[in-house]
Structure 1
Amino acid sequence: MFVLVNLKTYPCDPVEVAEAVRDVDRETEATLAVAPQAAHIERVAETGVETWAQHVDPIAHGSNTGGTLAETVADAGAVGTLINHSERRRRLADIDGAVRAADRADLETVVCANNPAQIGAAAALGPDRVAVEPPELIGTGTPVSTADPDIVAEAVSAAAGVDGEVSVLCGAGITDGEDVLAAADLGAEGVLLASGVAKADDPREALEALVEPL
């Protein structure tokens, strides 16, 4: 299982969380990674944890003030990037451009989508992974795998019907190991979560509880 912890802009210590992710990763067969804010990527990558960007823009070197360049986050130590997170939605053409930009910089990609139909469209763009996360469940602590398991199962089928090489992550409301197991039972190959770790009083304890059943 792949576990990607998105720190969003939560008021946490990104290095502290990154060290917890790194240490728990070393103790489990699951693969754990963290996605800090762009300004923190280099500091987080220096801990040795697998580091992802939260976003890249469909741009190349040039006149793009305020843009997030794929090559820049790669140079800072990121190995992958989220694209089209529910809190950073983009048009299909821009998602495609961002995937192409990430490929150019040798970054792995997770394209997020709201529902199975969008998952199919996202998979057609050739990312490494897609993540299904209904926006109404994000941050609620209610996992989509139990609130509406059909969405996860149908997302897995939708991705497989387009490109069997694209794996599916389950996002929204993931908080504990039972949620991870439920996602796996529905065919997901990983989870995308945020507040369950980033807002935890003890990130390491939260991570250990997350992967303990695996």
Structure 2
Amino acid sequence: MEIQAPFFVFNPKSYFYGDQLLKLAQKADFLAEKYPHLTIFITAPYADLANIAKQTRHIIVTAQHMDGIEPGRGMGAVLPESIYQAGVRAVFLNHAEHPLQLAELVQSIKKAKELGIQTIVCADSLEEARAIAVLKPDVLLCEPTELIGSGKTSDESYIQETNKAIKEIDPDIFILQAAGISTPEDVYHTLQLGADGTGCTSGITEADEPAKMLEKMIEAVNRAYEQRKEKHNENRT
């Protein structure tokens, strides 16, 4: 499934699992079918990936990490071929909660490309984003570590600087800005600043009604899409 911008990532980390997460994934799947011009990624704990992939059709089922290893030795590692066979078509790499050394990151990206798994690679700073862009990930997540889960979004200058720097290196890389996203308004505002996509964890997992919050955030992504389309049409006339 090709990525279409704007897109949204729901990353429940280890807050949700099992039937609760499956129901949210199916809700996202319904919304992805309703808005086919958007892309929706859903991550899950490893044990839930295959079940979610079997019971959804329109979302991109995403692993929260993957090791760049070949079948064989690797006790306790996340084998790329295994998660691909489970239905995974995207993977997070170098998240602040699971950082990688450069050599490990290079190998994981290479392995993902071989299998057709799209990569969402995390960068903590503008300098790190520039360095990672050279590796040509599919999506580059620009997220200062100190803002993760804080409810405070990246400031406008950080978003605009990282957007510009990455696109100058490789205009084909999609840019994900997701630090501190907690409301549908945060989603809309971040996309209006030029990000290709955004995402959320605690804003959904801690909501009184997670499914309703997920829906509102995806509706905010669609509003941003509609406004972009309107501006594009205006520029053509």
Using structure 1 for the length normalisation, give the TM-score.
Answer: 0.93
Tell me if the contact between 1:17 and 1:198 (Cα under 8 Å) persists in the aligned partners: no
Rounded Cα–Cα distance in structure 2 between residues aligned with 1:85 and 1:177: 23
User: SS of 2:76's equivalent?
Assistant: coil
User: In the TM superposition, what is the alpha-carbon distance from 1:202 to its structure 2 partner?
Assistant: 2.1
Corresponding residue for residue 52 of structure 1 = 62
Secondary structure in 2 matching 1:182: helix
For the residues of structure 1 that align with 2:191 and 2:180, how far apart are their CA atoms? 15
Please say if 1:34 is aligned against 2:47.
no
Query: Sequence identity of aligned pairs in percent?
Result: 30
How many residues of Structure 1 are paired with residues of Structure 2 in the alignment? 211
Cα drift, residue 75 of structure 1:
0.5
Change (3 A) 1:93 1:192: farther
The one of 11, 16, 26 equivalent to 1:6 is: 11
Query: Within 2, Cα distance between the matches of 1:207 and 1:23?
Result: 12
Which residue of 175, 178, 192 corresponds with 1:171? 178
**Aligned pairs (5 A) from 1:175-186:** 175-186=182-193
1:149 aligned to which of 156, 160, 173: 156
For residues 55 and 145 of structure 2, what CA distance do their matches in structure 1 show?
A: 31
The corresponding residue for 1:198 is 205
Q: Are the counterparts in 2 of residues 84 and 90 from structure 1 also a CA contact under 8 Å? A: yes
Separation (CA, whole Å) in 1 of partners of 2:146 and 2:210: 24
Q: In the TM superposition, what is the alpha-carbon distance from 1:68 to its structure 2 partner? A: 0.6
Three-state SS of the structure 1 residue aligned to 2:34 is: coil
d(CA) in 2 for partners of 1:93 and 1:153? 29
- Between 1:104-113 and 1:199-208, the stretch displaced more is 199-208
Contact 1:127/1:166 (<8 A) preserved: yes
The superposition leaves residues 124-173 of structure 1 with CA deviations (integer Å, 9 ceiling, x where unpaired) of 111111001111111122222xxx22111111112112111111001221
Question: How far apart, in 1, do the equivalents of 2:192 and 2:125 lie?
Answer: 18
Task: Tell which structure's C-alpha radius of gyration is larger.
Answer: 2
Give the whole-Å Cα distance in 2 for the aligned partners of 1:89 and 1:42. 24
Distance 1:23 1:197 in 2: 17
Q: 1:181 offset after TM fit, Å? A: 2.0
Larger helix proportion, structure 1 or 2? 2
Task: Indicate yes or no: 2:73 matched with 1:63.
Answer: yes
Aligned to 2:150: 140
Q: Distance in 2 between matches of 1:117 and 1:5?
A: 26
Structure 1 gaps, min length 5: none
Deviates more, 1:198-207 or 1:95-104: 198-207
Shift of 1:196: 1.7
Unaligned runs of 5+ in 2: 1-5, 224-237
Residues in 2 aligned to 1:132 and 1:19: alpha-carbon distance in whole angstroms: 28
In structure 2, how many angstroms separate the alpha carbons of the residues matched to 1:27 and 1:205?
15
Question: Could you tell me how far 1:185 is from its partner in structure 2?
Answer: 2.2
